[in-house]
Amino acid sequence: MGGGGHVVILGAGASIASTIRNPELSGKKLPSMDNFIEIVGLQDVVDKLPKELIAENFEELYSKLHNHDSECPEIKEIENRIHTYFADMTLPNEPTIYDYLVLSLRPKDMIATFNWDPFLYQAWVRNRKLTKDSPYLSFLHGNVSIGYSKKDKRSGPAGWYSKETKNHMEPSKLLFPIEKKDYTSDEFIITEWDRLKYWLEKDSTKRVTIFGYGAPKSDVEAVKILNDAWGGADNRNME
């Protein structure tokens, strides 16, 4: 079992935990799906919606709204506010959970995150000053820091332009309706999931750690992908 690779899968709980001791630089809070509307500042938009679309859990509300009218102005406003809220976040100057996590892993390891906030990417970038032996990253639900060029078939910092081709890195998509989180409909998301599946299926990967991700019932598709890629007791009896 020694010497194998390590995959770490992060959910919202990881980012929330990281801010308990080391708050976000400007004091912004990390929301969960149950207090998301209040923390991100969406209440005025939600108040204008028909009662049948209202739900306490943000993912449920967004899914209802998306099914009702995926092109309505309320959806566009919600998406813009969410992107702005998370994009403005900055890690504090002190080392955080994310810094320690990045520094504890190696190039044969991977960190895959469901989170939209920029903390993992910011920690990865600033710790490259200390070592180039960093783990690979995968952003399973998109991320405010990461963009994608369909022409280049490559990802990079959101808003930047490729040095080689000058093509623009368009911000990655963040929101998907929960009944059918179709991870095959977005080119960037497909690439991120394929990277994680490859790492999980590798014989050299010996350990998986899940931090702050509860595998909610609403994310059936994600859970199935993870289970299929990692395997069951028949072929992972030691792990």
**Position 191, amino acid:** T
Predicted pLDDT of residue 218: 65
Q: Residue 36 is encoded by which pair of tokens?
A: 């998301």
Supply the mean pLDDT for the chain: 90
pLDDT class of 117 with cuts at 50, 70, 90:
very high
Those residues whose C-beta lies under 8 Å from the C-beta of residue 121, and which sit 6 or more positions away, are 137, 143, 145, 146
Region 200-228 average pLDDT = 84
Predicted pLDDT of residue 57: 81
pLDDT score of 230 more than 70: yes
Predicted pLDDT of residue 180: 60
pLDDT class of 182 with cuts at 50, 70, 90:
low
Predicted pLDDT of residue 179: 60
pLDDT score of 123 more than 80: yes
- For 44-101, the pLDDT digits (tens) are 999 999 999 888 888 888 888 988 888 899 999 999 999 999 999 999 999 999 999 9
Segment 129-136 long-range contacts (CB within 8 Å, at least 24 positions apart): 130/103, 131/103, 133/106, 133/107, 134/102, 134/105, 134/107, 135/8, 135/102, 135/105, 135/106, 135/107, 135/109, 135/110, 135/111, 136/107, 136/109, 136/110, 136/111, 136/195, 136/199
Residue (of 127, 125, 88, 105) closest to 199 by Cα position? 105
Q: Residue 20 is encoded by which pair of tokens?
A: 């308990």
Predicted pLDDT of residue 19: 94
Q: CA 175 to CA 80: how far, in whole Å?
A: 11
Domains of the chain: 5-23+95-230 (3.40.50), 36-87 (no CATH)
